[in-house]
Structure 1
Amino acid sequence: MAFEYNFHSLSELAALLGANEATEALIKPLSKNHNDKNQVYSGSDFRPLYPMFDMTFSLRGPSVSGKKGGATTGQSIPEAVFTDFSWLDLAGHRIAARGVRMIIYPQYPETRLSAFQTVENTMPEAMSVAYTKTFPDSVRYLVLARRGNGAVLAVMVVDPGPQFVSDVQALPPASGSRVWKHLRLRVTADSRLQTKLARVAGKPMPGCRLDSAGNTLPFNGTQVCGYTLEHALGINPNSDSHGDFEGIELKTHTQKKVTLFTPEPDMGVYAESFPEFMQSFGYQDKEGNWRVTGIHRVDERCEQSGLTLRIANHERGTSLASSADKNVHLALLTDEGILTAGWSLERILNCWTAKHNEAVYVPAVKVTATDLALIAEGYRFSVEFSSEIMWCRETSAERLFEALYNGTLFLDPAPKFCPGKPQLNKRRSQWRVNDIRAAARDIYTDVRIINLQP
């Protein structure tokens, strides 16, 4: 068998995963009916697979139920396809798999994993129906390790030693799960990142960035704080998929109000005709441009726009997996109930991705540069980072929606429509929080305030 590993202890697995740049892993013992035909049960909701791993949700297709006599025969089944999934073979090669997915069955609710074949039409033999029929008592473990910003490295473990079994049993459960165990591999990254941040905290530096070749360039755009921090830490912007620092997202902010993400509507008048939306529901500024602004919280009418944000087709406090086939969406409505703009659940989930699952928020101060020599070289700003940071881990779809329900997370749009000047049009759907320190505890399971100075 080309993919099946036989470990004596968990430390052997950890060493293998660490050598492949994995930062954490989920481990699940498989029952005899877990195979490529019957699928692998993952839990009653999206956790812990989402958002630990990067996925693309398709909640209105394309999988189709073929269960004979079932109420869902021929209907689309919600699913989420892993963006990057590879099996690790015994030779240490990562073999990409095509279309491995999490199937969502809202009627139960439950989620299951399916479609394990690689691009070479291979897969672990121990995942086949033939194997489970021939060896029904074989002890098997499925390991899904996270690389970078959410890529999956899968390892199949078969008939391991008793120490391995004992070690896995002793692991803590994954957040929100009764079937997956959680193995944290990145044991030194936190302290190493804190050391790097401590070295640059409290030290004014010119606003700059690194280019792809590692050269320092002045940078004067709105993202100057983020680029300057990456430069200070030696991180090339967008150099790979491994996150800002070994899968940890770095988020700088100059004020308490922070934009978490900016998904554009995929429903309603806005999605059908941006000009019609702006001219029908916006106002004109002194230059004749159309704008839509104002704070929009769930179930509160915004006086500035006259629109109300609502969560449609979902019962607060229930699993989103159980509502995945009910056309759950965020709706921006007129008093008459016209859907001016809407965000489908899949649009929200596909924008609230794996990179948000662990983030470090770094306060920054940006001021206009005063050093004449630096100004002459093209530097317009000076940036200084705080010595007190906020470290956040483990978010979920449910936590995000609860933040919407309680008003912590709100829509603060800033689109602009300039008739006759399409190059000046701006689409900006900003989902924000007023105070990231307070809001983080609603959005993340684990929030820590860390002072970098002794």
Structure 2
Amino acid sequence: MAFEHCPPTVADLIAVLGAHGVTEALIKPLTRNHNDKNQIYSGRDFTPLYPTFDVTFADRGASTSGKKGGQAAGALIPEAVFRDFFWVDDTGREVRARDVRMIIYAQYPETRLSGFSTIENTMPVSLSVDYTKAQPNAVRYLVLGRRGSGQAVAMMVANPPQQFIDDVAGLPSATGSRVWRHLRLRTTAPQRLIALLAAASGRKLPGRRLNAAGATLPFNGTQVCGYTLEHELGIIPNSGKDGDFEGIELKTHTQKKVTLFTPEPDMGLYAADFSSFMTTYGYPDENGHLRVTGIHRVGIRCEKSGLTLRVMNHARGTPISGSVDDDVHLGLFDDAGNLAAGWSLSRMLNSWSSKHNEAVYIPAVKMKCDDAELGAAGYRHYVEFGDRVLWCRETSAEQLFEALYNGTLFLDPAPKYCAGNAALTKRRSQWRVNDIAKAARDLYNDVRTISLSDEMNGT
């Protein structure tokens, strides 16, 4: 078994990747010192690997680097582990790799790829230090294809013909990178999705969903808009890792204000003792239950809670990767400087994940179902989807934090504490934007407003 490939052209590479469900790919020419011992340099920050791929941020062991100029020797080195990474061998078989990770050396800063072995204790020979010593002038490319909502499908290209080399050189650079080339394979999915969205828009649809067997059922919960859209697109809820539509995230919203994600604090009093947090900072509602609410923007004290949201240990405008050794976190602080609730960097980055790297925001209206026959069948709502949607691509950790700094993204919490009644107690940390149409331009590199009807009419 061998993992090396030698496609004559990039078109041939596309054929192989497409057969494995890849929708886009990153391609990097490798130098002699890019091997399993020295790791593979990816760039100064997380991009473009994050959030293109589904990774989990965490800390690994202490740094022992003695490189001149290093400022964080002995500190924990953060890393991002690929959740699903597969090597494709020369027969087309996929073999899972068990420990591929992006290691972040904040003292330089730089990121490197490591851990290429498969679960069968194999790896591409052309990535070994022995290979690079024996063939120092070998032409090699690492190809990382994205499948679904962030799976990595990898190939090693070794000693390809000149046409392939020229083809790769002609590809555009990946956004935010000087070392990776970007290859977009998916050419029909956006058009097919537009057609499906156009067919669903402008109609009063009963609130419904598909069950695991593909049968239609009434749905009356708070997620009725999302489930109804999935029904119209033929998507079975939670049916796989391919994203909502071939890796494209679908987000319905009934108002301009949109909740982007809801990570709970993993630091501070909230994480250590939720009841103490609520009794310390909460106010009683009309039923005597304690609540903590209010808009919390970075650097602005919220009068309702008395807490101020701050970004800690990061200098605005600098790469996040250069600060990861410094305990970067978001914190809600009281006037005495106590950390009431905090979110670690890993918690935030793991929430703003690969599924957000391409997202379509679809406006919706929820109405009461007034049809007696549908009502008798269990339907309580109609849903109608709008014609104009936001199509957003390519985000980053830096854009996420800049949106926090400038107040575009804010915390709008809604926890409730009912002493002695766990069933009524809830935790809810909502990170929101006031107007998704405006906020998207802070969060994504490529934002387009699309009229579905115009697209279908060719105008």
| TM-score band w.r.t. shorter chain | over 0.9
SS at match of 1:87: strand
The amino acid across from 1:65 in the alignment is S
1:62 paired residue number: 60
1:416 paired residue number: 416
Rate the CA distance shift 1:398–1:360 in 2: closer, same or farther, 3 A: same
For 1:397 and 1:294, how far apart are their aligned partners in 2?
Answer: 25
For 2:254 and 2:3, how far apart are their aligned partners in 1?
Answer: 49
2:43 paired residue number: 43
For 2:353 and 2:11, how far apart are their aligned partners in 1?
Answer: 30
Which residues of 2 match residues 239-318 of structure 1 at below 5 A? 239-318=239-318
1:362 paired residue number: 362
Shift in Å, 1:71: 6.7
1:448 paired residue number: 448
For 2:418 and 2:165, how far apart are their aligned partners in 1?
Answer: 64
SS at match of 2:306: coil
Rate the CA distance shift 1:96–1:66 in 2: closer, same or farther, 3 A: same
Q: Deviations over 1:265-324 (max 9, x none)?
A: 000000000000001001011211110000000000101111100000000000000001
Aligned length: 452
The amino acid across from 1:308 in the alignment is T
The amino acid across from 2:215 in the alignment is N
For 1:42 and 1:231, how far apart are their aligned partners in 2?
Answer: 40
Rate the CA distance shift 1:360–1:68 in 2: closer, same or farther, 3 A: closer
The amino acid across from 2:445 in the alignment is T
For 2:263 and 2:47, how far apart are their aligned partners in 1?
Answer: 22
Q: Deviations over 1:369-409 (max 9, x none)?
A: 00000000100000000011110000100001000000000
2:23 paired residue number: 23
For 1:322 and 1:169, how far apart are their aligned partners in 2?
Answer: 29
Q: Which runs of 5+ in 2 are unaligned?
A: 455-459
For 1:395 and 1:3, how far apart are their aligned partners in 2?
Answer: 31
Q: Deviations over 1:49-74 (max 9, x none)?
A: 0000010001xx22333446977555
The amino acid across from 1:356 in the alignment is H
Contact 1:63 1:79 in 2 (8 A): no
Contact 2:72 2:107 in 1 (8 A): no
SS at match of 1:311: strand
The amino acid across from 1:197 in the alignment is L
SS at match of 1:62: strand
The runs of at least 4 consecutive aligned structure 1 residues that moved more than 4 Å come to 68-74
For 2:88 and 2:62, how far apart are their aligned partners in 1?
Answer: 30
Q: Which runs of 5+ in 1 are unaligned?
A: none
2:457 paired residue number: none
Q: Deviations over 1:80-127 (max 9, x none)?
A: 101111100111111001110001011111000001000111000000
For 1:133 and 1:293, how far apart are their aligned partners in 2?
Answer: 61
SS at match of 2:45: coil
The amino acid across from 1:63 in the alignment is G
1:117 paired residue number: 117
For 1:344 and 1:216, how far apart are their aligned partners in 2?
Answer: 41
For 1:410 and 1:42, how far apart are their aligned partners in 2?
Answer: 31
Shift in Å, 1:202: 0.2
Shift in Å, 1:200: 1.1
The amino acid across from 2:61 in the alignment is S
Contact 2:87 2:95 in 1 (8 A): yes
Identical amino acids, percent of aligned pairs: 64
TM-score with structure 1 length normalisation? 0.98
Contact 1:65 1:77 in 2 (8 A): yes
Shift in Å, 1:75: 3.7
SS at match of 1:362: strand
Shift in Å, 1:78: 1.0
